[in-house]
Amino acid sequence: MSAQYAERLQELNITLPKLAAPLANYVPAVISGHILIISGQLPAGGVGEMTKGHLGKDVTLEEGNAAARQCAINIIAQARAALDGDLNRIVRCLRVGGFVASTPDFTDHPKVINGASDLIVEVFGDAGRHARAAVGVAALPLGAAVEVEAMFEIKLS
Amino acid sequence: MSAQYAERLQELNITLPKLAAPLANYVPAVISGHILIISGQLPAGGVGEMTKGHLGKDVTLEEGNAAARQCAINIIAQARAALDGDLNRIVRCLRVGGFVASTPDFTDHPKVINGASDLIVEVFGDAGRHARAAVGVAALPLGAAVEVEAMFEIKLS
Amino acid sequence: MSAQYAERLQELNITLPKLAAPLANYVPAVISGHILIISGQLPAGGVGEMTKGHLGKDVTLEEGNAAARQCAINIIAQARAALDGDLNRIVRCLRVGGFVASTPDFTDHPKVINGASDLIVEVFGDAGRHARAAVGVAALPLGAAVEVEAMFEIKLS
């Protein structure tokens, strides 16, 4: 793993987790030309258990935000693996799709998914600023509270 | 803002609203090569309050359809800003993602999101015909009834 | 329709269904350069009625998995039509978006959407391995139990 973004992760005291195997017959990342697509990541791999439950019921805004941050850390881990360890091939983050398991009356989905958006901008700076859709869904795989997917523009190797 | 699509907006008597600031650490639009990605837009900026609630409960089909139309107007406003005022750089609309806050027994999501699809085709004509996914979600940011995101193909400037 | 993938469909004993008309003012497929985007497909067109209802309530895991498989068959049918009958222009499947109508306590969304992912890999082999996001939504168009959208990389014709 080369300099810049790797050093930035160290400054932020972020250790990328061991990669979770996909839960099915798909792959965690796909590259097509200048585009890198990362599969939906769950908030596993951090300290303690994966955050499960629903915002508006049994998961607090702070817990949801931290879960989204962990999803983004996992996205970067998958990106690093897909780029053979070289995060510096990332030109910018293009889009983040954020899914929040929520009750019908919960309305603070943006504050939850900010956990992911903020982490990506902390690591990549202005190149981390992305388009985004954040929505509240009925339920997520394994009972996770948050799932985040992403798309990056990359340099050809 | 140059001719054609700007004139079409005038013919349709559509005034693009002031742009809403993103609710977080992200940007409303990203350009990568020939692709323009617009963040999920809420139905704010029209006449009166933003449409809130759930289809199948406290929002009618007509209100939902009008809300989706307003989301599409906001998408075009964001696209215009991202293209420095020149909507004619748009080659075509590629994809629309439509999220409808709905009860579990609501089934008319396509008729709701048609409000967005129809507006885009009214403005861009055949170049507005897009691929689409429309789904019913548990809840949306700020309690909005509808959220719509979009992707366009653009000419290089 | 030329060889390879067409033959593979025959080996799998899969007959592509008649294409469903879009439920609105959009198109089932869009091509932009090397990218083919397929609109969200419902599990219609197979044997019997379209699978309706919610996972975790009135649709079993097995039924949901079969429904997702049918969505993927419909995706391939739309891709074939968009490519003027030549599925061999497909370089690879890039992304699958899987939406499962589910109760808030359902957690096996990956096993449902595997029905789509497995079918795509059965037909396209390694070129079928894709990035994926699978989520549980409140409701889907027409009461469908599953909706799947997809993006492919294609050769220029």
DSSP letters, A59-83, are B-HHHHHHHHHHHHHHHHHHHHHHT
Mean pLDDT, rounded, for C30-36: 97
Q: What's the whole-number average pLDDT of chain B?
A: 94
Which residues, in sequence order, are CB contacts of A93 under 8 Å at separation 6+? A120, A124, A127, A128, A129, A130, A150, A151, A152
Q: Which of A122, A135, A155 to mutate to test the interface with B (most CBs of B within 10 A)?
A: A135
Whether residue A49 lies inside any domain: the answer is yes
Whether residue C135 lies inside any domain: the answer is yes
Tell me the HSE value of A3 on the side-chain side, using a 13 A CA sphere: 1
B139:A105 CB<8 A: yes
Q: Is this prediction's pTM over 0.90? A: yes
Whether residue A119 lies inside any domain: the answer is yes
As given in the structure block, the two tokens for residue A9 are 């992760």
A105 reaches C (C-beta below 8 A)? no
Distance (Å) from the alpha carbon of B132 to chain A's nearest alpha carbon: 15
Mean pLDDT, rounded, for C66-89: 96
Distance (Å) from the alpha carbon of C17 to chain A's nearest alpha carbon: 24
pLDDT of B74? 96
Residue C92: which region, alpha, beta or left (left: phi > 0; alpha: psi -120 to 50)? Answer: beta
Query: Which of C121, C126, C125, C117 is CA-nearest to residue C146?
Result: C117
Whether residue C137 lies inside any domain: the answer is yes
Residues of C in contact with B138 (CB under 8 A): 104, 137-138
CA distance A21 to B50: 42
DSSP label of A157: -
| Interfacial A residues in 85-104 facing B (CB < 8 Å) | 91-92, 94-96, 101-104
| Angle, CA B20 vertex, CA B17 and CA B25 arms, to 5° | 160
Among candidates B56, B132, B137 on the partner chain, residue whose Cβ is nearest the Cβ of C137: B137
Q: What's the whole-number average pLDDT of chain A?
A: 94
Provide the number of structural domains found in chain A.
1
CA distance B54 to B57: 6
| Interfacial B residues in 28-57 facing A (CB < 8 Å) | 28-30, 32-33, 35, 37-40, 54
Whether residue C19 lies inside any domain: the answer is no
Per residue in A67-97, is it b (16+ CB within 10 Å) or e — as a string?
Answer: bbbbbbbbbbbbbbebbeebbebbebbbbbb
C94:A26 CB<8 A: no
As given in the structure block, the two tokens for residue A113 are 């998914």
B137:A132 CB<8 A: no
Residue A45's pLDDT band (cuts 50, 70, 90): confident
A155 reaches B (C-beta below 8 A)? no
Question: How many other C-beta atoms are found inside a 10 Å radius of the C-beta of residue A27?
Answer: 17
The more confident residue out of B17 and C60 is: C60
C105 reaches A (C-beta below 8 A)? yes
B26:A129 CB<8 A: yes
As given in the structure block, the two tokens for residue A94 are 């293009």
Whether residue A20 lies inside any domain: the answer is no
Mean pLDDT, rounded, for C67-77: 97
Q: Is A7 helix (H, G, I), strand (E, B) or coil?
A: helix
Contact (Cβ atoms closer than 8 angstroms) between residue B67 and residue B129: no
CA distance C11 to C45: 20
Residue A59's pLDDT band (cuts 50, 70, 90): very high
Which residues, in sequence order, are CB contacts of B7 under 8 Å at separation 6+? none
Where residue B136 sits, what CATH number does that domain have? 3.30.1330.40
Mean pLDDT, rounded, for B18-25: 76
C142 reaches A (C-beta below 8 A)? no
CA distance A101 to A59: 9
Whether residue C67 lies inside any domain: the answer is yes
Question: How many other C-beta atoms are found inside a 10 Å radius of the C-beta of residue A126?
Answer: 8
Distance (Å) from the alpha carbon of B51 to chain C's nearest alpha carbon: 19
Residue C1's pLDDT band (cuts 50, 70, 90): very low
Whether the predicted pLDDT of B2 surpasses 60: no
Contact (Cβ atoms closer than 8 angstroms) between residue B92 and residue B135: no
Mean pLDDT, rounded, for A53-70: 98
Whether residue A21 lies inside any domain: the answer is no
Contact (Cβ atoms closer than 8 angstroms) between residue A43 and residue A68: yes
Distance (Å) from the alpha carbon of A136 to chain C's nearest alpha carbon: 8
Reported as type and span, the H/E element at residue A147 is strand A146-154
Contact (Cβ atoms closer than 8 angstroms) between residue C110 and residue C132: no
- Give me the domain span that covers residue C54: 5-13+27-154
Q: Which of A94, A102, A109 to mutate to test the interface with B (most CBs of B within 10 A)?
A: A109
- Residue keyed to tokens 């700007």: B6
CA distance C118 to C115: 5
Whether the predicted pLDDT of B78 surpasses 80: yes
A25:C133 CB<8 A: no
Mean pLDDT, rounded, for B102-114: 98
Mean pLDDT, rounded, for C72-83: 96
As given in the structure block, the two tokens for residue A85 are 């360890």
